[in-house]
Structure 1
Amino acid sequence: MTTPLKRHENLKPLSRDHHHGLLLCWKITVGLKNGVEQERIKGYLDYFFSSQLVPHFQFEEAEVFPLLGEDHPMVERALKEHRRLKELFHTSLDTPALRAIEIELNRHIRFEERELFTEIQRVVPEEKIRQIDNKEKKILTPDPDDWADKFWT
């Protein structure tokens, strides 16, 4: 059994966002498994991308990644994955693209949680990590489940 990761208090809002991202992956899987029309899934993905992922990526890129530096290999990887995910969300979103989003978003979130955030907690001084504690005040995003067509239920 894996020991749960102890997340710094100031990174917890980002981890909550990651939880919602993992739920999105699950929703895609359920939608495809249940034969939900791709347009219904795409509608939710468009909403989730603009209301959740874009602000989250922007916050990470402006406030979190600079703590390690833009030339840190983990930051380079995270930025590359952000670009790839943005490309995927702007595709036609057929079944292969939906599956790619589900797989790559899941992989990206687990990388940030298990490796990138752990590295930040290991090498960045406490006072610097405290500077990112206003994420909830800076980014007021709607509830990701505030969507009428709950195709995943």
Structure 2
Amino acid sequence: MKRHEALNPLSHHHHHALVMALEMKRSGTEKSDKTFKQLVRDMIDFWENDGRDHFRDEEEVLVPLYLEHADSVEVDLVKEMLYQHVQIRSLIYDLREKGVTQHEKMRELGEILDQHIRLEERELFPLIEQAVPEKYLYQANGRFHRDSYSGF
């Protein structure tokens, strides 16, 4: 899906998150080539280097911009996005702090992360692109954190 270039950093982060989500969804199955500890380490690295800041970018920059400029806000969609952020944070905390091998929770995190990204890319971002004037999208772009993998 073609994205407004100002939102490309967020979509780029989503690409990395989809790769992580796929690995998580395979946790504890024959399709996984990583141990649970490797997945947890990868998940923590991803979260600390990009995921946490990505959520902040959306919550503190993008969504307020949408609410400010939209004639009619899709409130249920925004609520779902924010609820998914809370679910993801909770599962990350649970997996990180308990130190117990919980493949089911890892797979759940992968599923929710995958659904979340698709919700944003397919439903929320198109609404934001329509509602927010281009100059404000570009201004928001300057406030997004840069991906630790590529600097995008």
Alignment TM class, shorter chain as reference: 0.7 to 0.9
Structure 1 counterpart SS, 2:94:
coil
Report how far residue 74 of structure 1 moved.
Answer: 2.1
The answer on whether the counterparts of 2:25 and 2:111 sit within 8 Å (CA) in structure 1 is no
CA distance in 2 between counterparts of 1:84 and 1:29 reads 16
Query: TM-score, normalised on structure 1?
Result: 0.80
Q: Give 5+ residue unaligned stretches, structure 2.
A: 96-100
Match of 1:147 in 2: none
Percentage of matched positions with identical amino acids: 30
Aligned match for 1:38, one of 30, 36, 39? 36
Q: Give 5+ residue unaligned stretches, structure 1.
A: 145-153
Aligned residues: 138
CA distance in 1 between counterparts of 2:56 and 2:137 reads 17
Aligned match for 1:142, one of 110, 129, 148? 148
Moved more, 43-52 or 72-81: 72-81
CA distance in 1 between counterparts of 2:137 and 2:42 reads 33
CA distance in 1 between counterparts of 2:147 and 2:3 reads 22
Match of 2:103 in 1: 95
Report how far residue 37 of structure 1 moved.
Answer: 2.4
Structure 2 counterpart SS, 1:91:
helix
Moved more, 92-101 or 103-112: 92-101
CA distance in 2 between counterparts of 1:34 and 1:108 reads 22
CA distance in 2 between counterparts of 1:14 and 1:34 reads 27
